[in-house]
Amino acid sequence: MTTKVPSDFSKMTEGEALYSLGVRATKKDGKKGLNMPIPGKPGESLFIPASDEKPDAIVASNRKQDRVQGAKKTRCHDCRCKVWISPATQEMLKRYPGTPVICIPCFVKRTEAENKQKKEAE
């Protein structure tokens, strides 16, 4: 995979890392959410609705240099690659125990699959 991402992820939170990947807060059909560009598909993006409910998954970075102070190593629920979870994410895991932690590529895959299912259901 040759996804181009900025190289200096050090000391970033997942939120900042996502922001640096081009993810932006947005609104669609009156719903708040995030707009995430699809790696390898310029001009295309995914809309991820925001929710106060238990998340389906927590996104963590799989790059060693994304490690922030206090970050803990774990494995991506989907592909078993090593990911780093920041203290902020660890708090989220405490709030929603049992939520799978997944890496950014798996998050994109999941969201794409969900959107496809939704389209097919329409």
Beta carbons of 55 and 79 less than 8 angstroms apart: no
| DSSP sequence for the chain | ------S--TT--HHHHHHHTT-EEEEETTEEEEEEEPTT-TT-EEEEE--SSPPS-EEEB--GGGPPTT-EEEE-TTT--EEEE-HHHHHHHHHSTTPPEEEHHHHHHHHHHHHHHHHHH-
Q: How far is the CB of 107 from Zn ion (least distance, A)?
A: 8
Q: How far is the CB of 80 from Zn ion (least distance, A)?
A: 7
By C-beta, is 12 or 107 nearer to Zn ion?
Answer: 107
The residues binding Zn ion (CB under 5 A) are 76, 78-79, 103, 106
Q: How far is the CB of 20 from Zn ion (least distance, A)?
A: 19
By C-beta, is 78 or 112 nearer to Zn ion?
Answer: 78
Q: How far is the CB of 26 from Zn ion (least distance, A)?
A: 25
By C-beta, is 59 or 68 nearer to Zn ion?
Answer: 59
By C-beta, is 26 or 57 nearer to Zn ion?
Answer: 57
